[in-house]
């Protein structure tokens, strides 16, 4: 765990030039980093400020130990985001990142912070279904590699290199432990709209599991499916960003930049 980490290590975005009226905080998938959102600014309206969240154990925080429990991570991330909620904001997460974003939203609500304009949950089953996940984080090394191959998200060059897998395996196992041991505590539904994105060929996160996000919002819910597997976030990024932009525009955030 990384208790005591200064909040500014979580966010390294540059202040916008004044055109942005909303911040989109983005949480990566297991084993991933903020680089997953490289280039997103070009695919979103100019009034959206993309703010990747840097989790411990990767990127500029590679020297820090990754979390192995989701709730403490979400609490620390929410505390780090809190000073940057001076304008409307939305939360996006892919796979593991979606559950983190959900718990960040709940932590911020408990602290009395403004609610997000939208929560985007990508390639992730509804949190109340998490207890039914298979456990892979403590698999023997060879079985873990086979499990990662099935998801088709880890580069082949990494999977085929013993040296690289020895380097990345501890982070991947920590992230998998974090999500596979998470239990969703009962709380009222969120007050913001929720959109669930999924891949039609994803063997893990089926439309039924995605649709269950409807239970976690008292506002509007939408589910959007794309061609592709668990990591459609890369192959269908342009379509995904168009959907995000449309959802945020419907929320009326775009007009606020004119005030």
Catalytic residues: 95
Identify the CA nearest to 25 among candidates 251, 259, 244.
244
What is the three-class DSSP state of 74? helix
Half-sphere exposure (CA, 13 Å, Cβ side) for 93?
A: 28
* Cα–Cα distance for residue pair 115/190, rounded to 1 Å: 8
Number of helices and strands in the chain (H, E) = 9, 6
CA distance 126 to 184: 10
- Beta pairing partners, 93: 27, 121
What residues does 120 pair with on adjacent strands?
Answer: 92, 195
Q: Kindly write down the DSSP assignment for every residue of 75-127, as one continuous string.
A: HHHHHHHGGG-SS-EEEEEETHHHHHHHHHHHHHHHTTPPPPS-EEEES---G
Q: Chain-centre distance of CA 90, in angstroms?
A: 11
In Å, how far are 40, 215, 243 from 200, measured between CA atoms? 22, 21, 16
3-class secondary-structure state, position 130: helix
Give the burial class of 14: count Cβ atoms within 10 A of its Cβ; 0-12 exposed, 13-18 middle, 19 or more buried.
exposed
């Amino acid at each position: 765990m990384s208790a005591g980490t200064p909040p500014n290590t979580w966010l390294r975005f540059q202040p916008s030039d004044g055109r942005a009226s909303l911040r989109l905080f983005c949480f990566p998938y297991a084993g991933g980093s903020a680089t997953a959102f490289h280039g997103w600014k070009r695919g979103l309206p100019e009034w959206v400020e993309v703010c990747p969240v840097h989790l411990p154990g990767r990127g500029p925080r590679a020297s820090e130990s990754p979390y192995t429990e989701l709730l403490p991570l979400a609490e620390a991330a929410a505390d780090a985001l809190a000073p940057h909620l001076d304008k409307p904001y939305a939360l996006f997460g892919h796979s593991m990142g979606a559950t983190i974003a959900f718990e960040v939203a709940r932590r911020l609500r408990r602290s009395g912070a403004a609610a997000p304009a939208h929560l985007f949950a990508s390639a992730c089953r509804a949190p109340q279904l998490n207890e039914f996940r298979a456990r892979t984080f403590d698999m023997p090394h060879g079985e873990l590699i086979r499990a990662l191959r099935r998801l088709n998200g880890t580069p082949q060059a990494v999977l085929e290199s013993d040296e690289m897998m020895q380097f990345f395996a501890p982070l991947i196992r920590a992230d998998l432990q974090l999500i596979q041991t998470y239990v969703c505590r009962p709380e009222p539904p969120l007050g913001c709209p929720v959109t669930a994105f999924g891949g039609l060929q994803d063997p893990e996160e089926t439309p039924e599991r995605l649709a269950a996000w409807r239970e976690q919002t008292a506002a509007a819910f939408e589910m959007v499916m794309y061609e592709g597997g668990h990591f459609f976030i890369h192959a269908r990024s342009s379509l995904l960003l168009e959907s995000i932009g449309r959802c945020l525009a419907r929320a009326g955030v775009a007009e606020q930049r004119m005030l």
